[in-house]
Chain A
Amino acid sequence: MADTSRVVDGLRAYRMITAMWIRSTMAYRASFFMTTLGNLTATTFDFVAILLMFSRVDELGGYSLPQVAFLYGLSSTAFGLADLALGSMENLGRRVRDGTLDTLLVRPAPVLAQMGADQFGLRRLGRITQGLAVLIYALATVDIDWTPLKLLLMPVILVSGAGIFGAVFIAGAAFQFVAKDASEVQNAFTYGGTTMLQYPPTVFATELVRGVTFVLPLAFVNWLPATYVLGMPIPLGLPEWVAFLPPLVAVGCCALAGMAWRAGLRSYQSTGN
């Protein structure tokens, strides 16, 4: 029961602090619109690279442009959601180094919630917008045998994917308690991860696909469920039902990340900065 009240407290604090950051951002309205636009443009170029590739070839690893767009849209939107909610966790290392983490520790709210809401950047809506735009384009052009089950799976994929990326953000931040300048390591898994997932699994080496399926389960963000929806062969010859595992994987990842976070915070409290 104590845990439930902590979660409620955490969400409450998260909401209050994000509201403060949004209002802070709005103190510089022009700057907000510029950075959001910049965010949107930068991520759009990302997709333009794929379009350019398809101006030379008709398929990539057996996937057509609409199919790659489908993968891209799912990964980018899921990542965007996680990035919006928890992207600022990567500031943890800086807060540990300059000692400002201490000011969060004397507040009557969970540090994870305070840290997640820290520097909340509404400009990150730019990435979500772009991801959704690509996803809509894909849905309009791709050839899918829609069944009720597949339709139902779509929002589940996005939410679970955001959960998995969110867990990576939290675990990455927990790692920064130990290695204070490891935000680049975290970026390799978050930004690097989403970039990888934007391409079909068939263009990567089997070992890598295996790694992101069984070790760091990023494949559950889009590859495994999306290949099922698209009717493409599921990577590593896995059975069809793995397409329905993402929610479980997301919950498992978040639980592990939560444990890592607690361990990290405890180690901070015993070692200081």
Chain B
Amino acid sequence: MDEGFIDVKGVEKVFEVRKKAGFLKRERRQVRAVDSISFRVARGEMVGYIGPNGAGKSTTIKMLTGILTPSGGRLRVAGIDPSRERTRLAHRIGVVFGQRTTLWWDLPLIDSYKLMHRMYRIPDGRYRENLDRLVELLDLSELLDVPVRQLSLGQRMRGDIAAALLHDPEVLYLDEPTIGLDVISKAKVREFLRELNAERGTTVLLTTHDLQDIEQLCSRVMVIDHGRMMYDGPLAGLHEAGESERTLVVDLERELPPIEAPAPARVVRVEGPRQWLAFPASESAAPLVARIAAEYPLVDLSVREPDIEAVIAKMYVEQTEKTANAGNAGNAGKAVS
């Protein structure tokens, strides 16, 4: 396929922010929420879209769904210009906003689905088929007759995901689908998304704060910060790009001097019999663990994954330095003029 299913080319979004600057005076300032980003997503890909709060994730999703009109660049989803043909696009996309339910609060869950059935003009046969499948996969059969206000957060999220998929969208946008969910609900949602992608070939673009969402679901991750694309590639590469490190927490039998670990691994903290060792995230922990186990009286150990925010922060600093070195006045995006 020479053109991506989602095709974003040099898209930007500039907001004008008015700030109080006196009694009636307002100061105008332009904020570049999305600064010339480009990417392509092929049909059937599952992509994680991550970045800190205010990085431009939601703005991108809003442009891809037709909620916002880009200030510049070219944007196509399934060949459609989202903001121009918003309602036509609506039939081909599903959207789940993690923190805003689209279900009817006071009515049984099934009523919201019946509304979708009619509003999207889903043929009866297909609706029943999809509903049955979603109810089974998302474990909703007990909940269909329960008013939405009585559902737990995890149940409601599953209900929302089903509502977004009844009309067989080709692409599903998920904005923080696991936020606030307990471990079991998270696992259910992830498992479902994996199956959806594998069986129906639905293209999935999800924004998240949870690195595990990405690890378990996405072959590809895009990182945005200050409106700029910082990284686009496999997750493993992200750790390398961010030079991120995993932490091995070791509990020894007794207090000992810092472990002499083979470089680049090194002890970063000692607290009684417990020691923390940092090592590159791209490397396996096994040789290091084997070596420590052989040479030290080991009681217990655990591995901690790098914090995504830390990885991005590190990438961001490097990027800023690079642009600064390139004589670009160190301007990495946000405030212009």
**Residues 1-52 of A contacting B (Cβ, < 8 Å):** 9, 13, 16-17, 20, 23-24, 27-28
Q: Could you mark each residue 240-273 of chain A with 1 if its beta carbon is under 8 Å from any beta carbon of chain B, else 0?
A: 0000000000000000000000000010011110
Contact flag A110-B87 (CB < 8 Å), given A23-B111, A24-B105: yes
Are B111 and A105 in contact, with the CB atoms below 8 A?
Answer: no
A13–B120 alpha-carbon span in the complex (Å): 10
The number of residue pairs between A and B whose CB atoms lie closer than 8 Å in the complex comes to 67
Write out the residue numbers on chain A whose beta carbons fall within 8 Å of the beta carbon of B90: 106-108
A147 located at the interface, meaning its Cβ lies under 8 Å from any Cβ of chain B in the complex: no
Among B68, B95, B97, chain A packs the most CB atoms within 10 A around the CB of: B68
A59 located at the interface, meaning its Cβ lies under 8 Å from any Cβ of chain B in the complex: no
Write out the residue numbers on chain A whose beta carbons fall within 8 Å of the beta carbon of B65: 105-106
Are A20 and B59 in contact, with the CB atoms below 8 A?
Answer: no
Are A23 and B107 in contact, with the CB atoms below 8 A?
Answer: yes
Number of interface residues of B (CB under 8 A): 32
B335 located at the interface, meaning its Cβ lies under 8 Å from any Cβ of chain A in the complex: no
Contact flag A20-B15 (CB < 8 Å), given A102-B97, A272-B59: no
Least distance between B43 CB and chain A CB atoms (Å): 20
Residue of chain B at shortest CB distance from A114? B119
B91 located at the interface, meaning its Cβ lies under 8 Å from any Cβ of chain A in the complex: yes
A156–B67 alpha-carbon span in the complex (Å): 39
B118 located at the interface, meaning its Cβ lies under 8 Å from any Cβ of chain A in the complex: yes
A99–B118 alpha-carbon span in the complex (Å): 25
Interface size class of A (residues with CB under 8 A): 20 to 34
B115 located at the interface, meaning its Cβ lies under 8 Å from any Cβ of chain A in the complex: yes
Taking a contact as CB atoms closer than 8 A, the residue among B15, B66, B93, B105 that contacts A272 in the complex is: B15
A103 located at the interface, meaning its Cβ lies under 8 Å from any Cβ of chain B in the complex: yes
Write out the residue numbers on chain A whose beta carbons fall within 8 Å of the beta carbon of B71: 270
**Residues 92-122 of A contacting B (Cβ, < 8 Å):** 99-100, 102-103, 105-110
Contact flag A20-B97 (CB < 8 Å), given A105-B66, A271-B15, A272-B59: no
Least distance between B275 CB and chain A CB atoms (Å): 46
Can you identify 11 A-B contacts, CB atoms within 8 angstroms? A16-B118, A20-B111, A103-B95, A103-B102, A105-B65, A106-B65, A107-B87, A107-B90, A107-B119, A108-B91, A269-B67
Q: Hey, which bits of chain B sit against chain A, CB under 8 A?
A: 15-16, 33, 59, 62, 65-69, 71, 83, 86-88, 90-91, 93, 95, 97, 100, 102, 104-107, 111, 115, 118-120, 147
Q: Hey, which bits of chain A sit against chain B, CB under 8 A?
A: 9, 13, 16-17, 20, 23-24, 27-28, 99-100, 102-103, 105-110, 266, 269-272
Given A20-B115, A24-B105, A107-B90, list of 12 further CB < 8 A pairs?
A: A16-B115, A17-B115, A23-B107, A24-B104, A27-B107, A28-B106, A102-B62, A103-B95, A105-B65, A105-B86, A106-B90, A269-B67
